[in-house]
Amino acid sequence: MMAGDWTLQRGATLLPDGSVHFSVWAPHAESLQVRVRSGPAAGVHPLCRSEQVAGLHETIVADVGVGADYAFIHADGRELPDPVSRWQPEGVHGPSRVVDPDAYRWRDDAWQGIPLADYVIYELHVGTFTPQGTFDAAVAELPRLQELGVTAIELMPVAQFPGSRNWGYDGVSLYAVQHSYGGPDGLKRFVDAAHAHGLAVVLDVVYNHLGPEGNYLDAYGPYFTDRYRTPWGRAVNYDGAHSEEVRRYVIDNARHWVTEYHVDALRLDAVHGIFDLGACHLLQELAAEVHRVAEQVGRPVVVIAESDLNDPRLLRPVEQGGYALDAQWSDDFHHAVHVLVTGEASGYYVDYGGLDMVAAALREPFVYAGQYSAHRGRRHGAPSTGLPRERFVVAIQNHDQVGNRATGERLSTLVQPEVQRATAALLLLSPYVPLIFMGDEYGETNPFQYFISHSDDGLVEAVRNGRREEFATFGWGDAVPDPQDEATFRCSVLERSRAEVMPHAGLLALYRDLLTLRAGHRALRPDGSTTTVAHDAAAGWITLHRVPVVGDPHAGGSEYLAAFNFGGVERSVPLPAGGAAWQMCLSTDAAVYGGGDRAIAPANGRLALPGWVAALLQRGSGAGSRGSGAP
């Protein structure tokens, strides 16, 4: 892997002679000193104002060396962490530590990345993915994920947050890697090992707000603005006075994850909370800079947005008025499927219901593409016309849709196993990039609840009250687990031994077979076929006819039909006419998956499909490749 030309210039930069260049943008600070806490340079050293950059304070201190702890002393006597600290070994309130970003010896020189269309994303939370809750413990699970068939691991945010238990969206030291997970070298070992297993790494980053505890940025500069409001905290100042250095703060952060940690993709949290009325939106600038760094390091790096705006401008090229991001989450798929299989219709689910909505989500990633939304009380979204389907990420569960339930129940505790199998097949056979939330693949039944470990009692009580108020519109009552209680965190840790017994083992086998078929047949991936969706809402069935792209030499000659019965009784599903006879590839009702193993075979142009069963059929030159669930 080629080294990039870009290097981080803010914070503590180790120089070849062992001295350290300290550089901090702090227009709010009258004066600054740096206290080095150990080694030959231990003591207090003044910083000088830069003549080139307004508000920048800097100095070079000799004989500091790697591993020295330091803090900036403000005029009021407070000793605060570096806003661009690479490591906070004692947490958000402690000193920062000097890190040599070039000390780690990478072994991924041969890694060239993978195309976005080949992404099968597995989202995990480092703290609850294993009992140890560390990067190194997660490394031991990578062979299992590779065998499963996922191709990309998405880490929920790892920037330093308060305490040791948090989802990560309360991070306050954006450049520091969470100390309880394993710090900077722990993350590098994880990325290196993932690449060795052929897995890309997606890092979840939060640029719409910062957490409240340990957030000392006000002491340094105008990082925040009162012009806008977010649901999670003060809005970041991306378009007001002195915003250039604030923009640099987050754009440098994105660059540093790519260059220093070799990540393959950034998932931008809730970009609808990033407000910028300037001529060049922050998202446009950030995407351009990430892509520029990707060219320097010689591998693709993609930028994926989470957004509830249903706005195709995020993905459209700049010359068409867009921001040129690579992909975005599309929650309409999840909402439509969730309402269909659970019957829940409160909160934002009021906008969804019935098979028509699911079929719409398969035809167009935005179900709401300009239609009236009852939940919002206005028209919502715009069509994604012309945008390839591999640029949309969909899920049947993710951290938000599980953890933002009152008690964090997973789909496995809300529906029967046969429903789980059918919805899993719908996800993995959809024309989009699928995201699997950790534990989905075997039907984990432990909840994923919201947890924190703040040290401020007032803040803890505010979070408790906020959670109760958030769930009022869903009618979930007051039975909300205490997010500060360690037991809330502990009960959210995966219990992977469940995967060894039925029905969990059957669901796991289904995931493996579906992902094997997807990997081996390009027509089952977003870029390898055109998809025609047919459905009958009254009868409860949907079909997806996947036809290889004409003229694509890599697409293969087979076409596929995915058929789904989302009702409780057998239905006769029509098959597309013409061509060779259809052959069965896989049925979710197979005994190996925990089903009833009922005989399913196409006949006379129709398919008799039992209730809550999905089947995959194939015809053409490649017919005959089957999963273990073939009849």
8 Å CB contact between 453 and 166: yes
Q: What is the largest CA-CA distance in the chain?
A: 86
Residue partners of 296: CB distance under 8 A and separation at least 6:
2, 4, 5, 6
8 Å CB contact between 47 and 56: no
Phi and psi at residue 157, in whole multiples of 5°?
A: -50, 140
CA distance 622 to 617: 12
The residue annotated as part of the active site, out of 306, 364, 418, 513, is: 306
Residue 182 φ/ψ region, left for φ over 0, alpha for ψ in the -120 to 50 degree band, beta for the rest: left
Q: For the beta carbon of residue 413, count every other beta carbon within 10 angstroms.
A: 13
DSSP for 344-381, written as a single string:
--SGGGGG--SHHHHHHHHH-S-S-SSEEETTTTEEE-
CA distance 22 to 73: 13
Q: Is the dihedral of CA 216, 221, 226, 227 positive or negative?
A: negative
The CA-atom distances, in angstroms, between 552 and each of 515, 523, 557 are 22, 10, 10
Measured at the alpha carbon of residue 377, what is the angle toward residues 373 and 380, in degrees to the nearest 5? 45
The residue annotated as part of the active site, out of 269, 308, 390, 441, is: 269
To the nearest 10°, the Cα dihedral for 135, 136, 141, 147? 90
Residue partners of 280: CB distance under 8 A and separation at least 6:
none
CA distance 580 to 74: 77
DSSP state of 157: P
Q: For the beta carbon of residue 538, count every other beta carbon within 10 angstroms.
A: 9
Q: 269 catalytic, yes or no?
A: yes
The CA-atom distances, in angstroms, between 382 and each of 51, 142, 276, 309, 385 are 48, 39, 20, 9, 9
Nearest to 543 by CA among 599, 612, 614: 614
CA distance 245 to 161: 23
Nearest to 385 by CA among 336, 428, 322: 322
| 204: Cα separation from own chain's centroid | 5
Nearest to 354 by CA among 378, 335, 381, 372: 335
Please count the residues of the chain.
631
Scanning 404-547, the segments in alpha helix (DSSP H) are 417-428, 457-470, 486-490, 504-520
Place of tokens 């910062």: 210
592: its two tokens: 């190996």
Nearest to 14 by CA among 87, 73, 117, 79: 87
Residue partners of 188: CB distance under 8 A and separation at least 6:
104, 106, 261, 262
Omega prior to 231 cis, within 30 of 0: no
Collapse the DSSP code of 494 into the 3-class scheme (helix H, G, I; strand E, B; otherwise coil) and give the result: coil
- Give the active site residues: 269, 306
